[in-house]
Structure 1
Amino acid sequence: MKTLITNIGELTTNAPTPEHAEGGGDLRGTLHDAAVLIDGDRIAWVGPAADAPDADETVDAEGRALIPGFVDSHSHLVFGGDRAAEFEARMQGQKYAAGGIRSTVAATRAATDEELRIRLRGFLDEMLAQGTTTVEIKSGYGLDVATEERLVRLAAEVTPEVTFLGAHVVPAEYADRGDDYVELVTGEMLDACAPHAKWIDV
C-alpha cells in the first residue's frame, strides 16, 4: 500500500548529497511544502508536494514539520528498580563506584519476566512519544547466566537490535575472581544469550 504524506510545512532529511535522493531531487537541508511517499515499510519518494506521485492513501500533515526519527544506539531498557538513591548521592558529591549498577542488578534478578516486560514496553512507548523510532537494547543488569539470558530474550521480543553486555561490571559474587567471571561471560553466558542477541558489547 502506498501512503502519501502531503502538506508538510518543513521536511528535514538526512541525505548529505543529491545522489541519495531517489526520485526526489536534492534532499539537503529543509524542504518547504513537501511530500513523502511511503510504499509498504519503505520511504519511496521525497520532494515538493506539487510533484508528488499518486498513492492509495493521502495523509494531510496540515503544515506540520516532519523530521527523521531519532536513533538511540545505546540503551538499557530491561531492568528492575531505579537509580534515584545513586542520583541523589552523586548530587551531594559522593563518588561513583558502580554501586548503582550493582543495586540495579539485584533488583533485576528479583523481578519477574512480566514485570520486566511491562517496564520495557513503557520505556519504549515513552521513547516513541519523544521521537525515537529506532533503538538498540543492551543487557548488562543480570550478570549471571540465567538473568542475562532473560534480558536479551525479553529485548528480542521488541527489537532485532539486541546487544549482549555480560561484562557490564564484575558482579559482587565475583569481586575477587574477575578472570573467572570473564570465563563465564565468554563461555556459558555467551552460549545462552547468543540465540537472542545480534551484537556483543564489551
Structure 2
Amino acid sequence: MNKRIVSLCLAAVLLTSGCDRGANGHAETAAEKENAEMGMMSMHHHSDSGEVPKGLREAEHPTYHVGDTVVIHAKHMAGMDGATGKVVGAYNTVAYSVTYTPTDRGKPVRNHKWVIQEEIKDAGNQPLEPGQNVILEADHMEGMMGAQATIETADRTTVYMVDYIPTNGGAPVTNHKWVVERELSERLYKS
C-alpha cells in the first residue's frame, strides 16, 4: 500500500513539474501542452454555486434563455467542447480573459476564460483595459479568489451560466461560470 501511495505522489509531482519534455524525451508541441493543461484544469475544483456576484444584471433580451438547450463550443474545461448544455442564467456584463497566479502557489494560469466585471475587486462600472493588473474575487477554480491577475482581453457581452454533461464521460457540471454568447450555438429545443 505504501509503495502505491509513493508511486502516485511521484506521478503527481512529475505531472505538475513544468517540464517541457514528454515521456519519450521529445519537446512537447503546443497542442500537447494545451491538452495537458486542459487535463490539469479538469482536475481542479470547479465551483458549482449558482450564486452570482452582487450587482450582476440579468440580460433583458438574451439570445439564449433560461431553460434553453444549447451546444457549447468552448474549451475552458476538458469535455466541454461539443457538450450539450442547459442555460441556467444570462447576464449583461464585461467578460475578461485573464492570466493569474493562483493563491495556492500553483503554476500561473494563462488566458483563463472568463471572469466578469463584478468578479474583479474595485472594478467600477467602466470596462478595464488589456494589460491592467487586478485582484480577482471569483471562485471558479482553486486558488482564484484573491489572486493577482492581468487582463488579456475585454468583451462587453451577454454571459451565460450553464449546466452540461462533459463529452469525455466526466461527471455532470452544474452552474459553470461563464460562457459567452459566441461559444454557444442554436437551441436544440426549448424545455
- Answer whether TM exceeds 0.5 for this pair: no
Structure having the higher strand fraction is 2
TM-score (norm 2): 0.23
Greater relative contact order structure (CA < 8 Å, 6+ sep): 2
**Structure with max Cα Rg:** 1
More helix by share: 1
| TM-score (normalised: structure 1) | 0.22
